[in-house]
Amino acid sequence: MRDAAQLLQIEAEAYRPVLEGLPPADFDKQTVCELWSVRDVIAHQSAVLQIINAGEQAPFTAESNQRDVDDRKTWDVDRLLAELFGGYEDAIAVIDTAGGLLDGFGLAQFIHGGDVRDAVGATDAFASPGHEIAVDLLHDKSTVMKKAPVITRVDGVLRQFGLDLDPVGRLVTNTETFVRLCGGRNPDDGNWSVEGISAVDFVLYG
């Protein structure tokens, strides 16, 4: 199984009890995703799963993503969660057989799960089960996106971030903060140190 598909499988198993255990008021809590509540993030996640499972092409712009969320505004939470949970199995298979073309979607689902966990006060919001795979995939994505070459030390493990060239900087941090950095999710300045490069250079999503 591709790493991204395995990550989504792990995320689906870990995410479900979190969502099923939320009190109704938590679905209205604000997330780090600007104007989106917990409910809105879940709606976006579910919409994306439906799109990739159907083999459809979508721009995934801010406007199109918002339309997908708005289309689900009148749904009750049970219907929304049923669509989300029902989309996971097919999406895992689709990502696994796509030869890497859809790996970013598995990773994005993990990051959005972190958005929800963070909003409801869960511990290790962006370092939940599967985080080791997520960190590897983020490094892979940084190479594909031709990011500036940096040596990272994440929870003591050294890796190359960005292009396979002589590094122009160095980052020392933990998993939670690294995922936040790459996702553009307001990392705590006290949990990372960087030389030769700025935080914005690590952003892969957002």
How far, in Å, are 14, 57, 78, 137, 178 from residue 155 at the CA level? 22, 37, 38, 16, 10
33 and 112 in a common domain: yes
Whether 125 maps to a domain, the answer reads no
Distance between CA 166 and CA 148 in Å, rounded?
10
Choose one of 92, 119, 146: the last residue of a domain. Answer: 119
Token readout for 140 is 């892979």
Number of domains composing the chain: 2
Domain that holds residue 55: 3-119
Q: Taking CA 148 as the corner, what is the angle to CA 185 and CA 7, rounded to the nearest 5 degrees?
A: 50
At 14-72, the pLDDT tens digits run 999 999 999 999 999 999 998 999 999 999 999 999 999 999 988 899 999 999 999 99
CB 144 within 8 A of CB 103: no
Provide the residue type at 177 as one letter: T
Whole-prediction pTM value? 0.95
* Same domain? 87 vs 182: no
Per-residue confidence (pLDDT) for residue 66, from 0 to 100: 97
Q: Domain boundary at 87, 119, 151, which?
A: 119
Per-residue model confidence (pLDDT) at position 57: 87
Decide if 147 contacts 201 (C-beta within 8 A).
yes
Looking at residue 178, what is its pLDDT? 98
What CATH number did the domain enclosing 169 receive?
A: 3.30.1050
Count other C-beta atoms under 10 Å from residue 9's C-beta. 20
**C-alpha triplet 78, 5, 162: angle, nearest 5°:** 120
Please check whether residues 105 and 136 belong to one and the same domain. no
**13 occurs within a structural domain:** yes
The whole-number pLDDT of residue 2 equals 97
CA distances from 5 to 48, 102, 119, 129, 199 (A): 15, 9, 25, 14, 28
Q: What is the pLDDT along the chain (206 residues), one digit of tens a residue?
A: 999 999 999 999 999 999 999 999 999 999 999 899 999 999 999 999 999 999 998 889 999 999 999 999 999 999 999 999 999 999 999 999 999 999 999 999 999 999 999 999 999 999 999 999 999 999 999 999 999 999 999 999 999 999 999 999 999 999 999 999 999 998 988 899 999 999 999 999 86
pLDDT of residue 171: 97
Q: Are residues 195 and 140 in the same domain?
A: yes
Backbone angles phi, psi at 30, to 5 degrees: -75, 140
Q: Is 126 among the domain residues?
A: no
Is 137 in the same domain as 49?
Answer: no
Could you tell me the CA-to-CA distances from 144 to 41, 96, 139 in Å, in that order? 26, 19, 9
- pLDDT attached to residue 206: 67
